[in-house]
Chain A
Amino acid sequence: MTKRCVKVYPRFERFWHWSQMTLIMALLFTGMGLNGVHSLIPFGPAVMLHTIIAFALMALWVFAAFWLFTTGTWRQFIPTTEGMFQVARFYAYGVFKGEEHPYKKIFWRKHNPLQAATYFFLKWVIFPVIWITGLAYLSYNFWGTGAEGAQALWVVSNLHLLTAYVIVVFIIVHVYLLTVGHGFRQHVKPMITGYDDIDLTPEQEAYLETNEPGRLKPEC
């Protein structure tokens, strides 16, 4: 195994991550305004922005899904229990003892098991719930009528809200965990430059040097 500076996040993935981050922050801001948490934006413009941004985000997801499945990157997001306990133990205990992060990034696994499980949950539960409830919310007039419709809308809107709060919690923990291990800058940098230090097998190294030399850099 050799540690090499490899491009792990291609341009589209970085674009996906940061535009998704921007759109989600905008949705949270407008959404919290709509919910009445703050009144920094009037209700009408907030509805318009929230709707338009949500459509933009869904369009981005369509592209991302296409990209994930055509490039095979979807495999990165399949959760595994292998090593998960060690990572959890590290965050809960080892980190205070000065232990090293038990997970080593490898070429086909850029997320640690806990990360992978979190993203999997996010992608398959949280995001679908928020866009399904969001679309139901938006299209209320096509399915809801009368007092019963109003009650159903209450359920839909509160499910939407609850999911939004879960996303806020994710963001808090996600950003905090960037500070653990190699540190915030080291963790954010790959998502900007695309390159990170990865343990490569000799075969992987030989393959990349021969076929994709652009994915290797002398130093990160």
Chain B
Amino acid sequence: MRYNLFTGSVAAVLLGLAGITGAWAQDTAAPQIPGSGSTADHSKFEILQKDFQSGPEVTEACLSCHTEASDQVMHSIHFQWDFTHPETGQQLGKSNVINSFCGSVAGNEPRCTSCHAGYGWEDMSQPPPQQSNAVDCLVCHDRSGQYTKSATLAGNPPLAPVPQGMKTITGADAWPVDLAKAAQSVGMPGRDNCGNCHFYGGGGDNVKHGDLSSALYSPAKSVDVHMSPEGENFTCSTCHVSDQHQWDGSRYATHASDMVGTGKPGSARTVSTCQSCHGTDPHPANIKGMKLNDHTDKLACQTCHIPEFARGGVATKTFWDWSTAGRLSPEGKPIAEHNFTQSDGKELHTYLSTKGDFEWEEDVVPYYAWFDGQVEYTTADRVIDPSKPVEVNPIKGDPDDGVSRIWPFKRMVGRQAYDTELNHLVYTHVWGPTTDTAFWTNFDWAKAIDAGMKAAGAEYSGKFDFVDTYMYWPTTHMVAPAADAVQCEECHSKNGRMAGLTGVYLPGTDSTGIVGLLGRLMVLAAIAGVLFHAALRVISGKGKGGHKHD
């Protein structure tokens, strides 16, 4: 049943993808039978054959049958953007945290909430809209390939007539969405449904995660064995299994390890770990496989099986310096410099007056650290030490806790604003085409920070400067074919990938350690000894010694 649904949606994804590669467009071919294999063909439902005038109208139609859907979605992180960490109690979620990319949602709502799984959330100081039709069903379930959300309408789709210059959430020129067509097409989410938001986090393709980019709409097998049409052709929800619109897989409380593995028939399936499909002893039962399995008490699967992230031709931002933003041309106009050429020839910006300096990288070797899955955030209430780089989300882990594994991360290097009196990271108001405080409009940090802090309701001394930051993004997508996994000697060598990690002993990394040196000394002494002995024999002219005792 599940498989049939899946193959059906895959066919639909492929059709949808045809549109992405060209002009991601409204006139993509009609989808395959929506939810092929399903008992319901939504195009035959009378209630969906209407001239819908807004997103919420479609949602109302959905709810007339799926009566509990709205309630379920509203309790999910996709809608709430609020997450109380079960271990630390810290209040996280997009509505609360500060990151090293665009900073914060607070103060920039209609832009940031363009990717909210709902409609009309315009004030972060308030919870998301509570009326049941504020849920956006289509963003996840549209299979027509032509539903999208405007970049600046707090989650609403662009509808005819589309204003000049409007963009979609992926940065494409907006088109008028046909809501009826979308409503009649619904099915299980494809890679495009999730990717249109998650591939573009941080303001552009692959900017944020490094392992989630537009390359995954239809990746080559070498980029992602699971999601590739040449491979398993998984959608996101093949692994991120949902139950009542709650998904497994979290960056705040990650499954750093999984000792349960596949489990028994009937046991919980809502686990997105590698082990939940591959088991806890995934390598074959031979000498090599056993030795590889021996690594699973120290390493996450991802550590070997994702040799680099930002593969598939889409670069990721690895450095973002906000402190240089605001430099204008002599005429007082914003500047854009493009000094990075992506492997597909595309020029990417390396300086923007609005955002500062950037660095991009492709095929990036990850940063490795012990990780127990629990992430704390340096939220605006936490005191920082500006004398050294601030860890925006310090990675916790302990080789002795039985849970931690060495994980690969994208380590984002940043430089962002903080309050020099209170030593807090600050919220910034960057987006606001019509305000006189938004940084991207006025290029005045003092005003932008002041407005951001007001919007977030946070205490602010009025004095600011910039501090270096690190932010860590666990790497878990873009699993490579087994043949491309990280080779042993990448780590088992001097200055290998794990150099500097404690709590683990890696053979082959220290041949010139104390014992190695002692051994070499012994060998040299032995050679010197026999050479000396031989030389004496030659000098004494007696060669082998006497052998006349025949």
Contact = CB atoms under 8 A, between A and B. Distances in A.
Chain A, interface size category, equals 35 or more
Given A146-B503, A182-B547, A44 B488 contact: yes
B89 interface: no
Given A34-B507, A95-B537, A162 B542 contact: no
Contact of B400 (A91, A146, A153, A165): A146
A95 B543 CA distance: 8
Interface string B487-518: 11100111000000011110111111111101
B164 interface: no
Interface string B531-550: 00110110010101111111
A150 B399 contact: yes
B519 interface: yes
Contact of A181 (B522, B527, B544): B544
A137 to B, nearest CB: 8
Contacts of B516: 35, 37, 161
Contact of A146 (B399, B514, B522): B399
B388 interface: no
A145 interface: yes
B523 A173 contact: no
B294 A140 contact: yes
Interface string A124-138: 000000000000010
B530 interface: yes
A90 interface: yes
Contacts of A48: 287-288, 291
A35 B511 contact: yes
A47 interface: yes
B526 interface: yes
A165 B544 contact: no
Nearest to B520: A165
A97 B541 CA distance: 9
B248 interface: no
B359 interface: no
Interface in A94-145: 94-101, 104, 137, 140-141, 145
Given A42-B488, A43-B508, A161 B519 contact: yes
B361 interface: no
B308 to A, nearest CB: 19
B71 interface: no
Contacts of A104: 549
Interface string A169-182: 10011001001111
A153 B488 contact: no
A3 to B, nearest CB: 7
Contact of B503 (A100, A140, A147): A147
B173 interface: no
Contacts of B514: 158
A43 B547 contact: no
B490 to A, nearest CB: 9
B503 A94 contact: no
Contacts of A101: 545-547, 549
A161 B515 contact: yes
A164 B519 contact: yes
B489 A172 contact: no
Interface string B379-397: 0000000000000000000
Contacts of A218: none
Contact of A44 (B288, B529, B540): B288
Interface in A48-69: 48, 51-52
Given A36-B508, A147-B503, A99 B545 contact: yes
B523 A182 contact: no
A158 to B, nearest CB: 4
B362 interface: no
Contacts of A73: none
Contacts of B511: 35-37
A154 interface: yes
Contact of A100 (B493, B533, B540, B549): B549
B488 A98 contact: no
A215 B319 CA distance: 81
Report which residue of A137, A145, A169 has the largest number of chain B beta carbons within 10 angstroms of its beta carbon: A169
B402 to A, nearest CB: 8
Given A154-B505, A172-B527, A98 B546 contact: yes
30 contacts: A3-B550, A35-B511, A36-B512, A42-B487, A47-B488, A48-B291, A51-B287, A90-B545, A95-B542, A97-B540, A98-B542, A99-B546, A100-B548, A101-B545, A104-B549, A145-B402, A150-B503, A150-B504, A165-B519, A168-B523, A169-B522, A169-B525, A172-B527, A172-B530, A176-B533, A181-B547, A182-B544, A182-B547, A183-B547, A197-B550
Given A44-B487, A168-B519, A182-B547, 12 more contacts: A43-B488, A44-B488, A94-B545, A95-B537, A100-B547, A100-B548, A150-B399, A161-B519, A162-B518, A164-B519, A179-B534, A183-B547
A-B pairs, 6 with minimum CB distance: A165-B519, A36-B511, A43-B488, A146-B400, A98-B542, A100-B546
